[in-house]
Structure formats: C-alpha cells, structure tokens
Structure 1
Amino acid sequence: MANVLVTGGTGYIAGWCMLALLDAGHSVRTTVRDLAREPQLRESLRRSSTGPSDMPGHGGAESADRLRVFRADLRSDEGWREAVDGCDYVLHVASPTLTQVPRSDDEMVRPAVDGALRVLRAARAAGVRRVVLTSAIGAIAYGHDRRDTPFTERDWTNVDADIAPYQKSKTLAERAAWDYAAGSGLELATVNPTAVLGPVLGPDYSPSLNAIAQMLDGSMPALLPFATGYVDVRDVAALHLLAMTEPAAAGERFIATAGHSLWLREVAAVLRDRLGERAAKVPTREMPLLVARGLAKVNPQMRNLRALIGRNLDASSAKAERLLGWKTRPIEDTIVDTAESLLALPS
C-alpha cells in the first residue's frame, strides 16, 4: 500500500479519488485552502459509507486514521513540501475556480499553470514515483474545425481560437506539466475526463451535475443544442488509480468517457424515461440553434458554452481500455444515479 497525496480535497473528483484510494487500502493525504473545511470534508466522505455497495469508499471512508489534511493553496509555495513529504504518488486534481466571469484569461490561466508546476516541483523534490494530473477534455477538443471522427489523446485544444478561459487554462496547465516532466525525470500521466456525472458527496458539485439539477428543478427552460461525452465520477476515480500504478500509464494521456457523446436532449430523455413523475419538470423542448448562438454571445452564464453550441464533441476512451483495462458503467445508469443523488439532497 502507498502514501498518496490528492490535491484539492473538497473537489468532486478529488473526493471520489480519496474514497477509491482508502477503499483500496492506501494512506491518503489531501490539501485544502482553508482547514476550517476539514470537518465538512471528512463528514462528506463518511456519509458515502451508507451509499450503495458499488460505490468505492463505502468501507474505506471510515478509515479516518489513513486520511490526513494539509493546508496548501495553488497560488502559494507554502504547505506543499509538508503535504507531499513521504508520498509515493500524487494525484493533482485541484484546479483554480472563480465565482464570477474572469476579467481576463490570465485570472484562470496563471493560477492553473503556476499551481501545476508548484505541485510537480514539490513532488520531484520529495522523490514521488509518479504524478497523475487531472486535465480535461477541454485540453483536447476545443478550437477545432467540425469533424466526424472522435477526438483522441493525440489532439490538443487550439488556445489561439475563441475558447473559454477554463479550457485555455486546462490546456496550458497540462502542456506546462508535460514540458516540466520531460526534463525532470518525474513520471507523469494525465486523465482527461469529459463531462463528469455521478453521485454527489454533498452540496458542492461540478457544473455538469448542475445541468442535471437545473433540468430536474425546472430552472432550465429549454435544452441547449450540443452533444458531449459523459463519464461516471466513480469510473474517473478508478482510472486515476490505474494511471497511478500501471507501468504502461507512464508518459501517457487518457481520455475518460463512457461510450459515445450524447445530445442534451438524449440526457433529458433518459431522465424522463427512468424517473417518471420525478422528472416532470425536465424540459422537452430544444432551443433553436440560432437563438442559442445569439444568447451565448450576450448571456454571461452561457458565454462559456458558446464553443459547444451546435457541436458534437465526441471522444474515444479506447486507449485507456486497451492499455489499462479500464471499463465504464452504462452512462444511462450514471445519469439516473446522478438524479437520484441530487433529489436526495436536503432542500
């Protein structure tokens, strides 16, 4: 069993990575920007122990003696040496987040790039065996002309195109990580998930889950016309563990997606079909393409989706399946699990 640091412990993917690591018997460290959030973090992991038996961590979450929490911020050197000291592996899951639309791309790009390099330098100094960086499909599939073939790990997002700051930050942070690893002798692998769904661990969850929540509560009046890949957060966590330990993963990128992409109207159809009356508020109407494009230009909440409107960003996880034996659960089941979990949250 190994000592593993998971950065950004209050994040959605990080939480499930910690559960999977604890369930596998590893000792886990994690970082938070504010130690006042440690009790909430531990409680969210503990609550997962009452979930369905197919959720990793339903036993491991109780192993509090194998989880240590450190204060560290991607914007500062402080705390990283202590957090990574004695670790065998690092899962760098943390990524800068903003509560409002950034005034410039650098507000997101610089912390993402500097934070990734900060973690990699600390890992190398501590003699870590391998770092697994959580990147995103945003570093692969944006800024390209329309295409009929799925995106693969050979593709990179064009940062000179008209893309949102988030996609730009993920792309430049991953490129910086690969450049650093090439000259450092440090082993690196990256996991590039598509839109991540699955059971929530608490009231803080990803934008992808927020779309499901808005469908369920009726706050989404119409479905935007775009298609993207989806993947279960539990399968994303499993891929992180494979990328951490499998020899074949060193020096490789891995797209995490379940099957082919889905149009938002197809996701809505799964909810209505499987949830019945509980999906009564899920919209049935798709927004006309020209209307969606117009709104994406003027509506701040839709601006980050402008590159998606009318597009089908299909991607392939064949590489992870072939090299690592990674498998995913049916995405329709994940969509339902997501909805069930959101509906169970206290109102």
Structure 2
Amino acid sequence: MAVPKEEERKKLVCVTGGCGFIGSWLVRTLLDHHHSYTVRATVQDLSDPSQTYHLRSLLPSNSDESRLSLFQADLLDSGSLWAAIDGCEGVFHLASPCFLEDPREPQTQLLDPAIQGTLNVLEACRKAKVRRVVLTSSISAMVPNPSWPHDKVVDESCWTDIDFCKAHKKWYPVSKTLAERAAWEFSKQHGLDVVAIHPSTCLGPLLQPSLNASSAVLLQLLQGSEESQEHHWLGSVDVRDVAKAQLLLYETPCASGRYLCTNGIYQFKDFAEIVAGICPGYPLHKFAKETQPGLMGCKDAAKRLLDLGLKFRPIQDTLKEAADSLKDRGFLGQPALISSSSS
C-alpha cells in the first residue's frame, strides 16, 4: 500500500466500527466536514451488505469515491487493524461488541474483543505515529457506581464499580470500563495522545439497517417496557451531537482526558414523560417514583464539552426524529388512535 503524502495524511482518518449507529454518523460527519477528511472505516464483514451499503451511500453527491474506503477488520487480528490504520493521522476507535441480549460467553464475546481489541488498535496507532486517538467509551464506564455520593453530580471522575457489575452479571459495563482503563495505561506508557468521550443513551435517526442497543431503549419504552434503567441512566444525547463532539475533540489541541457527552442528567422517569408527550398513543409505562434513587440532576453535566463550544440539540427534536426513524425502519408500529373522550 502506498504511503500517503504528508498533505493527504493530515486529512486521512480511520473510524473503527464505522458501520454502527454512532460510527455511521461519525463517518457522515467527517465526509460532510469542510476540512474534507478522507475516511477509512472498518467493518466486520465486507461481504455483508447490511454493513456496507449505508456507508457507501454517505458520500456527498459528486464527491470523490476515494474519500471513503472500507476495511474488513477483526479487533483480535492486529494485521487487519494495521492495514486500516497505517498512514492515518488520526483514529476514532468505536468498535466494541454490544448485544441486545446478555451474551452467553462474556469473556470471549465481550471482554476479550473490547480490552485486547482496544490495545491492538492503540498499538497500531503507536506504530503508525497517529497524532491523536479519540476513544469512544461510554457512560457504562462511569456507572453503575453505587458508592458515588448522592449529593454530588456525576462527572468525569466517576468510574464504574467493577465488582458490583460482576456480582450482578452486568458484563457490558465491565468490558467498557476495563477497555478504557487499559487505554489510559497504554497512553501513559507509550506517550500516545488519547482523548475519551462518554456518550449517554444515544438516540436519533438510524443510518444503519439494524437496531442498536441504545435505540432499543426508546423502542422498548414505547412498547410499554417497565425497565427503569436504574443503574445505567445518565440522560440521553443525539447521535449527531456525539459525532460532532468526537470531531471537536479530535480538532481541539487542548482537549485531554474524559468527556461526558449528555444533554443533561435527569431521571429516566422524566425522560419517559417527555417521550409520552412527543409520542402520544403508545402504551408507555408511567413511572410513579424516583427511577434513579439519589441521582443528582444537572442541565449542564457535559460542561467540559460545552466549554469547548459544543451545542446540543433539544431532546424533544431528537426523540421525534428517533421515533420516526424507528417507524420508517419497521421496528415500531403506528400509535393507537386516542379516543376524543380520553383524559
């Protein structure tokens, strides 16, 4: 593979997990950006149209098709990652397994790919002399944390309680937490510039054809689920704002450390009430009590991103577009007709 010229390298970035919900929007944001990035996106299976078609359609009209290249890569295959990252100036690492149902083999299905996969990506970045890595972590690396003071707003200093999660078989938070800790240790040892972003429950229009875990939270709520997200909730955020924030962190030289990305911290009960007002006719469960005991609300919880100039979309707009997208994709049926005599 030819080594990109220096001026080309400055605009060449890699997005691991590019076919996912956040990854697809990040690819689109990079391609639409006025700096005209050239993007390499990794997918698990190049022969699977569900992983590739929607990405290829993201190129702006009359755009040079060479600005988007897709690479088949396995997080546990260092060679495949190197092929995608070699020559890039920046890397956005998003790829990490996530399941709608609990995995039968947490170690092999979740922990190994998340932790060793992150280290494999970072090692490729070190060898390629990548300028900066934007690591997409998660609020799952911040909560659950039962020992966090009830009179303190959750911030970037909060870390998930690994022992609590293992005891309750909450393996996804374990995977995200251990992967992020491994990334910080690697960064410290090798001097690699890493910045981490922690999106809350991410919602918005779907670009990919499949249902992702965070969109499933809204879908299940609209279908009448009584799940309160007690240990996992720190508010929600628009997927397009997450993509903007990732790019902002990449382009801001002073950015460092962890960045919570949420459109405020508030109870899931309050979220459900907002959804009910925007999406009438669905059988939403009414939560009668505090769904997150002791959780301190905060409108400007993402202060570190706000201070960098990020502006969040109103959550009402996000929810409306997310619900419409779920309907358009056939995941959500039409609401029941509400009788004029209904209270």
TM-score surpassing 0.5? yes
1:268-295, CA deviations, whole angstroms, 9 ceiling, x for partnerless residues?
A: 33233234xxx31231433789xxxxxx
Q: Match of 1:302? A: none
1:29-53, CA deviations, whole angstroms, 9 ceiling, x for partnerless residues?
A: 011111113x4444324666xxxxx
Distance 1:137 1:100 in 2: 19
1:59-108, CA deviations, whole angstroms, 9 ceiling, x for partnerless residues?
A: 47965331101111112223111111110100000002346523465332
Distance 2:314 2:327 in 1: 20
Distance 2:82 2:324 in 1: 40
Q: Match of 1:5? A: 14
Q: Match of 1:235? A: 241
Residue 16 of structure 1 pairs with residue 25 of structure 2: yes
Residue 255 of structure 1 pairs with residue 260 of structure 2: yes
Q: Match of 2:6? A: none
Q: TM-score, normalised by structure 1?
A: 0.81
Question: 132, 151, 161: which one pairs with 1:158?
Answer: 161
Give the unaligned 5+ runs of structure 2.
1-9, 332-343
Three-state SS of the structure 1 residue aligned to 2:195 is strand
Residue 268 of structure 1 pairs with residue 287 of structure 2: no
Residue 92 of structure 1 pairs with residue 93 of structure 2: yes
Distance 1:47 1:287 in 2: 44
Contact 2:43 2:70 in 1 (8 A): yes
Q: Match of 2:4? A: none
Residues 299-314 of structure 1 aligned to structure 2 (within 5 Å): 310=293, 312=295
RMSD of equivalent CA atoms: 2.6
Change (3 A) 1:272 1:66: same
Question: Which stretch shifts more, 80-89 or 159-168?
Answer: 159-168
Three-state SS of the structure 1 residue aligned to 2:162 is coil
Contact 2:150 2:294 in 1 (8 A): no
Residue 124 of structure 1 pairs with residue 110 of structure 2: no
Q: Match of 1:176? A: 182
Q: Match of 1:54? A: none
Three-state SS of the structure 1 residue aligned to 2:164 is coil
Residue 149 of structure 1 pairs with residue 152 of structure 2: yes
Distance 1:167 1:253 in 2: 16
Distance 1:13 1:120 in 2: 20
Q: TM-score, normalised by structure 2?
A: 0.82
Contact 1:255 1:320 in 2 (8 A): yes
Q: Match of 2:214? A: 208
| Superposed displacement of residue 15, structure 1 | 0.5
Aligned length: 311
Give the unaligned 5+ runs of structure 1.
49-56, 290-307
Q: Match of 2:40? A: 29
Residues 51-62 of structure 1 aligned to structure 2 (within 5 Å): 59=60
Distance 1:252 1:336 in 2: 33
Contact 2:153 2:295 in 1 (8 A): no
Q: Match of 1:295? A: none
Residue 317 of structure 1 pairs with residue 320 of structure 2: no
Q: Match of 1:294? A: none
Contact 2:278 2:316 in 1 (8 A): no
Change (3 A) 1:214 1:168: same
Contact 1:23 1:60 in 2 (8 A): no
Distance 1:225 1:285 in 2: 14
AA aligned to 2:295 is N
Higher helix proportion, which one?
1
